[in-house]
């Protein structure tokens, strides 16, 4: 979707946008440092996939700037918006360096990641208002689930009552036929 952007100025982290985010999409910030991503990592030399979240459709979450991921990710994810997909090429010094990450990533490997930024979130407990807002949101979701369950239960009960009433009518008709009209003025 365009040329690769050199995010570090030394060719260490290159980003090429595969799919742009909406213009109003949020981006990681000091207030929203937790990010959720889908990704697939390949070795630049061979194209071999060494890690992916796509196989089991998982989300990988981390905090930007905390040192929990390779430097290239900290650099690149700061430039992305939710919904964006980018191909990120990471030179060894911004990835796993001369040590690599055996057995999957050899020493001095250049890595290519296709990364989708799925969400940005505040740190847990970062402020009392965000915690109370999250609790209120979860309580509201719980109420909605309970109401939906109650409606389903009521509908199930009505269906069972209708089945029982239909079965009773059928049984009454069968009983009437079996009786052959006894007691309707026939004499022996």
Q: How far apart are CA 96 and CA 113, in angstroms?
A: 13
Q: Any catalytic annotation for residue 31?
A: no
Q: Any catalytic annotation for residue 60?
A: no
Task: Give Dmax (Cα) for the chain.
Answer: 113
Q: Which of 70, 74, 88, 105 is catalytic?
A: 70
Q: Any catalytic annotation for residue 51?
A: yes
Q: Which of 74, 88, 94, 96 is catalytic?
A: 96
C-alpha separations of 54 from 17, 39, 41, 93, 116 in Å = 19, 7, 11, 26, 11
Q: Any catalytic annotation for residue 175?
A: no
Q: Any catalytic annotation for residue 70?
A: yes
Q: How many CA atoms lie within 13 A of 19 on its CB side?
A: 12
Q: Which of 36, 50, 60, 104 is catalytic?
A: 50
Q: Any catalytic annotation for residue 96?
A: yes
Q: Which of 17, 36, 51, 104 is catalytic?
A: 51
Q: Which of 64, 88, 105, 113 is catalytic?
A: 113
Strand spans (E) along the chain: 5-6, 13-19, 34-43, 49-52, 60-63, 85-90, 111-121
Question: Hey, which residues are catalytic here?
Answer: 39, 50-51, 70, 96, 113
């Amino acid at each position: 979707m365009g040329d690769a952007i050199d995010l570090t100025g030394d060719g260490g982290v290159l980003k090429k946008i595969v799919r742009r985010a909406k213009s109003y999409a949020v981006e990681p910030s000091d207030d929203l440092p937790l990010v959720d991503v889908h990704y697939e990592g390949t070795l630049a030399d061979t194209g071999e996939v060494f890690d992916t979240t796509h196989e089991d459709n998982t989300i990988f979450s981390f905090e930007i700037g905390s040192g929990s991921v390779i430097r290239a990710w900290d650099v690149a994810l700061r430039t992305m918006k939710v919904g964006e997909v980018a191909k990120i090429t990471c030179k060894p010094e911004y990835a796993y360096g001369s040590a690599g990450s055996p057995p999957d990533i050899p020493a001095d490997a250049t890595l290519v990641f296709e990364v989708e930024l799925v969400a940005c979130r505040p740190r847990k407990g970062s402020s009392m208002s965000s915690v109370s807002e999250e609790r209120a949101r979860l309580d509201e979701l719980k109420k909605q689930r309970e109401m939906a369950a109650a409606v389903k239960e009521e509908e199930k009960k009505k269906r069972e009552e209708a089945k029982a009433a239909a079965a009773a009518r059928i049984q009454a008709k069968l009983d009437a036929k079996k009786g052959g009209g006894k007691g309707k003025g026939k004499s022996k």
